[in-house]
Amino acid sequence: MAASAAVRSSMGLTFRLSRVMPDCNTCPLNRLKSCVSGAANVQRRGSFDSFRTINRNLQTSKGLYHSEEGSSNAEDPEDVVNVVYIDRSGKRIPVKAKVGDNVLYLAHKHGIDLEGACEASLACSTCQVYVSADHFDKLPEPEEREDDMLDMAPMLQENSRLGCQITLTRDLDGIELTLPKVTRNFYVDGHVPKPH
């Protein structure tokens, strides 16, 4: 399942090279000048997913996936961010991620069924996740466009964020991201029934 999802997502990545891209201006790594895809940092590769926007020279990502696995660079402990995804059935899936990883594409890489219909362009709400209380406030404030899209998400909660807008940093270590549960009786218009 994870392998086929990884292949699916890596195949999908070849499409992502040719469509509307996310905005580096809002990325904390860009602001902090610690974007791992920058020229100065070619050696240290984070998740391919976090800089697919820049590396257009890459061949099919299938090839890249292999080169990542075969990388001779030792894992830098400073770079590791421990993440736990809680999938729609409640199962906990711990993932060892790296600083700079994008929560949506990290999920795809690990076969977690977090959809990203608009491919991180803030035009849908299918990547909604609930962020653990301890980490929610550590995230940068959502930009207005993210809030607008969140407003359309079914089962919106106080701790909802769009996964495609979360980039991992050291202080998010231990973050838990819960996918909204499947409710077989959801309301089609996202209407939240008033408690009674």
Partner 1 sequence: LKVYMLLRNLSSAFSICSPKVCIVGSGPAGFYTAQHLIKARQDVEVDIYERLPVPFGLVRFGVAPDHPEVKNVINTFTLTARNSRCSFYGNVNVGKDVSIEELQQAYHAVVLSYGAEGNRRMGVPGEDLAGVYSAKDFVGWYNGLPSCQELSPDLNCETAVILGQGNVALDVARILLAPTDILKKTDITQPALEALVQSQVRRVLIVGRRGPMQVACTIKEFREMVNLPDTRPEMMADDFEGVKEALKDLPRPRKRLTELMMKTALEIPSEKEQERQSKASRVWAFRFLRSPIEILANPDNSRTVGIRLAVNRLEGSGDGARAVPTGEVEDVTCGLLISSIGYKSLPIDPSVPFDSHKAIVPNNMGRVQHTAGLYCSGWLKTGPTGVIATTMNNSFDTARSVVEDMESGTVDVSAARPGSQSISGLLEERGVKPVTFSNWEKIDSLEMSRGEASGKPREKLLTVEEMLQVARK
Which residues would be at the binding site for partner 1 (CB under 8 A)?
Answer: 8, 11-12, 15-16, 19-20, 113, 115, 117-119, 121-126, 128, 144-145, 147-149, 151-154, 156, 182, 184, 186, 188-192
CB of 44 to partner 1, least distance (A): 29
State the burial class of residue 48 (Cβ atoms within 10 Å of its Cβ: 0-12, 13-18, 19+): buried
What's the rounded Cα separation, in Å, for the pair 132 and 137?
9
Paired residues of 94 in beta bridges: 84
What's the rounded Cα separation, in Å, for the pair 8 and 1?
10
Choose between 191 and 196: whose C-beta lies nearer to partner 1. Answer: 191
CB of 12 to partner 1, least distance (A): 6
CB of 5 to partner 1, least distance (A): 8
Residue with tokens 């580096």: 24
What's the rounded Cα separation, in Å, for the pair 184 and 192?
14
Terminal Cα distance for the chain, rounded: 41
Choose between 45 and 130: whose C-beta lies nearer to partner 1. Answer: 130
Choose between 97 and 149: whose C-beta lies nearer to partner 1. Answer: 149
**H helical segments located in 51-183:** 61-69, 103-109, 133-136, 144-150
Choose between 97 and 106: whose C-beta lies nearer to partner 1. Answer: 106
CB of 161 to partner 1, least distance (A): 14
CB of 17 to partner 1, least distance (A): 11
What type of residue sits at position 119?
E
Tallying the residues shown for the chain, one arrives at 196
Choose between 108 and 135: whose C-beta lies nearer to partner 1. Answer: 108
